[in-house]
Structure 1
Amino acid sequence: MTGPSALTLAAVLVLLTVVAVVMRPRGASTVDFYLAGQRVGVATNAWAICGDYFSAASFLGVAAAVYATGLDGAWYAVGFAAGFVPVLLFVAAPLRRFGEFSIPDFLGRRLGSEKVRLVAVGVVQLVILSYLVPQAVGSGITWELLVGSGLLGLSPYATGILVSTAVVTGLVAFGGMRGTTWTQAVQFLLLLGALVWLAATVLGEGFHYGDAVADLSTEPLVNPADDGGLATEQNALHPGDAAVFGQPGARYGGLGQFALIVTLAMGTAGLPHVMNRYFTSPTGAAARTTTVWVLCLAGVFYSLAVMLGTAAREIVPAAVADHPWLAELTVDGVLRVPEHALPVLGRIYGGDAGLGVVAAGALIAVMSTIAGLLLAAAASWGHDVYERHINPRATQRQAVLAGRITTLVTACAAACLGLALRPETFAAATPSIVATMVTWAFAVAGSALTPVFLLAIWWPRTTARGAVAGMITGMVVAVAMFTAGLSADGGLLRDALVTPTLVAAPLAAAVTVLVSRRTTPPPDVEKSWLIMHGTAADRHAERLARLVVAENRRRRAARRTRRARG
């Protein structure tokens, strides 16, 4: 267990994020609860998206993957950051111009179908649960290292999951999107601050990235084995050779590396908690500018994460002799749990206070992402299901209450799944359990939602039946493939199965196109197309035309009335 200074500092930093919710004004309407009144500025929204997106997989998982597999772990950073390029080019502006509450809401209105809306709600909930579980695992790992003891007879791991989930659920239910936006903005700034402090400290102590990669690559890469010792990693690109830190192949073959990047890049555009944030921007131009900010911040964030994962690999073995507490966390100088890389670096250089800063960053990353996911769940169930199907005459108060109840139910389900999983169960098969589990969420989103999403935005011929068929195809293929991949022995087949978007997304797109060509598109497709892709002048002209038509109808009706009276 660590000293009280680490716990106190971590508690203070986390408390700052709670104050952000309490201090912000709240609204009682659904637009306020789900979309923060659609008045979120560019910088604030960019920080909030980063707080949403830079989850435990980004803060703990990327550094852990680099620590465990070297260059292969850096593909996570590449894929996570690259995901915002298609969002910038193809999604952000038209999505905001069309304007709705959520992805299911957008698809339902764009394609004129409640069935599309309900199927999308089901897929969104699967993505949200898949993304929530690794956040819960990350909070359990962090609590276990920071506190080392549980509450009310629970294990430290279980306590971390339950405490973090309970706190965030309360904040979301209390503050809605407006409070959560400011919470996530503050959380991201604190998270980035912790990463910058640790990077500056490591560099100040003489660490050089290039030299470290060269030194680490002189010997075979080893990691803890099931028997308690160390095992040499084999190069997946060159069977029979040992893997080294600075060369690809320690975890993935050529196909696996490509499939991982495609899965992460495609999945970003289908993540409900990230895409819902674009509906909070005031205009389409603001949504596009926000994405540019996010891309720049992502480049900085992931570069630091990759560097620090490398630093941990070089520094920790030499630090064992001077820091006896490292003995129980390592096997011959190699960390048993790769996700401990950043917290251990923080404690090596900053003592208990340094551990408190990094642990607070990890908990903040978890809390921020959980908040966004719970709001996305509330929007899809509370707005798309409750308001439209269960109680169409619901008052604003009832609709908001339904959203708050949804956050509670979803949080409980994620906590239960997180408690059922232990990092040790998957440690031998994955470079980072947190990063790998988040990849599953990206796989479902990129396979089932993103292809249909992009076609609905950019192909006018998309139909409701085509979208339903495409979403179901992508979801079923993705789930079936990575379920089969978990039981595969390894190698090329396993790499392809556990990152299924490379196969599932084209299938989903093809099915959507084939079915759409045999069915009828919605009647108002030209109007939707003008809203999403027309220039400001086009949209202004279209509004004027509607006003002229309405005025002519009013005049004709008035003339008929005068004739009837005359």
Structure 2
Amino acid sequence: MASILLLVVLLAAVVSVAVLIRPQRASTFEFYLAGRRVGVVTNACAICGDYFSAASFLGVAAAVYASGLDGMWYATGFAAGFVPVLLFIAAPLRRFGEFSIPDFLGRRLESHSVRLTSVAIVQLIILAYLVPQAVASGIIWELFVGHGVGDLSPYATGVVISTAAIMLMVALGGMRGTTWTQAVQFLLLLAIFVWLAIVVVGSGFSYPDALRELSSRPLANPSDSGGGWRLEPVVNRLHPEEAAFFGEPGGQYDQLGQFALILSLALGTAGLPHIMNRYFTSPTGTAARMTTVWVVGLAGLFYILAVLLGTAARSIIADVAAELPWVGALTTGGVLRVPEYALLVLGQIFGGRAGLGLIAVGALVAVLSTIAGLLLASAASWGHDIYERYINPNATQGQALWAGRAAVAVVAVLSAGLALGVRPEALTGQFPSIVATMVTWAFALAGSALTPVFILAIWWRRTTGPGAVAGMITGTAVAVVMCAAGLLHNDADYAQVLMTPTFVSAPCAAAATVAVSLLSRPPADVDRIWLRMHGTAADRRAVRLARLTVAGFGGRNGERR
């Protein structure tokens, strides 16, 4: 009962904060962009709260727990994702200054087809990202609370309650309420990670010693082969004739698979709608760039702690499984059957029920924060880019807001419905972390369909609307086909590469964009567009002064009017 009460209080607090700090004047500008008055540090913390989802809080530690060094590639890819954003995207995107990715691409390329195509792809990415968050909320509830509400199972209860609470928060609070809530949520996540790391290290845990001890014997994980759970050796992807070890590469990916995973995560970040939309809330392009610098630093700290704790869980849980019956019930041969339980179990080992509750709250906060950003991005895409522009161009502010809120409800219900069809324990043996793996698919789709077109639209003047449409469709098609083939042939050695398809699909998208752009006509006003994205403040002042000067003179010989 205390567990349920704690989670209910958390959910109520999240919704209350969003509602209390919502803008008093209802407008789409405030609802989607928070009036473009979000400061650098606040926005950086909000982006981290948006980005550090269940895949980061539970999934990275789970991947390290299950596959050792190969799990670190998730941390590397997630952290590296903001480097291309910093170098190529953040400042020009904010200078152009729109509401969303479809809005930016549609206006940059002066094409309705681009806007509509990107809306469809954005919704697909959002849905692919939402489902693993809902799955994670079910996993958390199942372990922490242990029983459902009414006829619902514990897993289903977690999915339904968390989705409903965050849907309410976004619909009522908008971007301003969501921004401050996510910033606070990130600080809570980081504090929980720091607390657990301090407690673990204070107990005598040594990372070098644990890594050496874990690497002294072959890596083995639980597998349900039909006759019950048992430990089975992990296949070494780099050297199939040799055993896999915790501290060596090959526990999950071969060389191509490692490269494909990191590239998918790094490129995918730049195409995530809920992350890129946050840059439109910065007051200036410089502020957007500085925000990204802060995010890179905070991400590095966060993922270092995640890797440390994943390793600690593998070492400590195996040592206490025989002594603590409740740990033994979750393990086979001292290894957790569901890797996502790693941090939750570690929290209970060192903090009792209160420690488990703290980790569960942190994990649920990570889920809620990311779901909030995704739903807000969905609302901007449907409400602003479709409803206001095509369905009801004369809509009042109130009508536009209700359209966005309706989109939030529809997408939330759909994602929850899909998550209810997932059975995490049945998929545990197939992936190092089901949550991190499912999020990777969303990254792969974003990096294939949007990032190549995004970068070309910002840095290649010759990019055209038809070219962008061709690129987005090509990237999406190649990524979906490869991921589907990987799932259908999951036992094959090449399956992991197929399920991280960006190294193939992104070049295909870029090639299609360039080829079709060369055969079509670019926007007529490309010089003005280019200056808007890349010109300095001095450049823009000089252009305005030149226009005023020209306007002040008339006649063929420069006579003043």
* Contact 2:322–2:334 (8 Å) recurs in 1: no
Q: What is the deviation of 1:462?
A: 0.1
RMSD of equivalent CA atoms:
1.5
Kept in 2, the 8 Å contact 1:256–1:492? The answer is no
Q: Is contact 2:265–2:440 with CA below 8 Å preserved after alignment?
A: yes
In the alignment, is residue 21 of structure 1 matched against residue 22 of structure 2?
no
User: How do 1:245-324 and structure 2 match up within 5 A?
Assistant: 245-324=246-325
Q: CA deviation at 1:489?
A: 4.5
| Mapped partners of 1:503, 1:488: distance in 2 | 18
Change (3 A) 1:550 1:419: farther
Distance 1:292 1:353 in 2: 35
Distance in 2 between residues matched to 1:339 and 1:453, nearest whole Å: 34
* Aligned positions of 1:513-552 closer than 5 A: 513-552=514-553
Question: 1:14: Cα distance to partner?
Answer: 4.6
The separation in 1 between residues aligned to 2:353 and 2:554, in whole angstroms, is 75
Q: Shift of residue 50 of structure 1?
A: 0.3
8 Å CA contact 1:17–1:186 kept in 2: the answer is no
Post-superposition CA distance 1:377-431 (Å, at most 9, x none): 0001100000000001111111111000000000011000000111123222110
Give structure 1 stretches of 5+ with no counterpart. 561-566
Inter-partner Cα distance in structure 1 for 2:63 and 2:166: 27
* Secondary structure of the corresponding residue to residue 221 of structure 2: strand
| Residue-by-residue CA offset, 1:98-155 (whole Å, 9 max, x unaligned) | 0000000000000000110000001100100000000000000000001000012100
- Stretch deviating more after TM superposition (11-20 or 466-475): 11-20
The answer as to whether partners of 1:255 and 1:492 remain within 8 angstroms in 2 is: no
Give secondary structure in 2 for the equivalent of 1:244. coil
Question: What residue is the counterpart of 2:168 in the other structure?
Answer: 170
Question: Structure 2-normalised TM-score?
Answer: 0.97
Q: What is the identity, as a one-letter code, of the residue corresponding to 2:190?
A: L
Q: What's the counterpart of residue 338 of structure 2? A: 337
**Structure 1: how far apart are the matches of 2:133 and 2:292?**
24
**CA distance in structure 1 between the partners assigned to 2:534 and 2:205 by the alignment:** 49
3-state DSSP class of the match of 2:448? helix
Letter in 1 for 2:32: Y
Post-superposition CA distance 1:525-544 (Å, at most 9, x none)? 11111011111100111122
Q: CA deviation at 1:324?
A: 1.5
Residue deviations 1:325-345, cap 9 Å, x none? 112211121101000000000
Matched, 1:154 2:152: yes
Residues 97-496 of structure 1 correspond to what in structure 2 (within 5 A)? 97-227=95-225, 228-496=229-497
Residues 91, 454 of structure 1: 8 Å contact kept: yes
Maintained 8 Å contact 2:337/2:425:
no
Q: Residues 9 and 349 (structure 1 numbering): CA distance in 2 closer, same or farther, change over 3 Å?
A: farther
**1:167 to partner: Cα distance:** 0.1
TM-score, normalisation: structure 1: 0.96
Count of aligned pairs between the two proteins: 554
Cα deviation, residue 552, structure 1: 4.7
- Correspondence for 1:63 among 37, 61, 64: 61
Report the residue type matching 1:17 in the other structure.
V
* Superposed displacement of residue 492, structure 1: 4.2
Deviates more, 1:423-432 or 1:358-367: 423-432
CA distance 1:15–1:323, change in 2 (3 Å): farther
C-alpha separation in 1, matches of 2:365 and 2:31: 22
Give the distance between the partners of 1:25 and 1:415, measured in 2 at CA: 26
What amino acid maps onto 2:394 in structure 1?
R
Q: Is the 8 A contact 1:267 1:442 kept in 2?
A: yes
**Residues 111, 45 of structure 1: CA spacing in aligned structure 2 closer, same or farther, 3 A cutoff?**
same
Find the aligned partners of 1:495 and 1:63 in 2 and give their Cα distance.
Answer: 19
What SS is found at the alignment partner of 2:494? Answer: helix
Distance 1:207 1:117, change over 3 A: same
Q: Is the 8 A contact 2:15 2:168 kept in 1?
A: no
Identity of aligned residues (%): 66
Q: Equivalences for 1:39-58 in 2 at 5 Å? A: 39-58=37-56
Deviations 1:132-181 (A, max 9, x none): 00000000000000100001210000000000000000000000001000
Aligned with residue 78 of structure 2, among 68, 77, 80: 80
One-letter amino acid of the counterpart of residue 264, structure 2: T
Amino acid at match of 1:113: S
Deviation of 1:229 (Å): 0.7
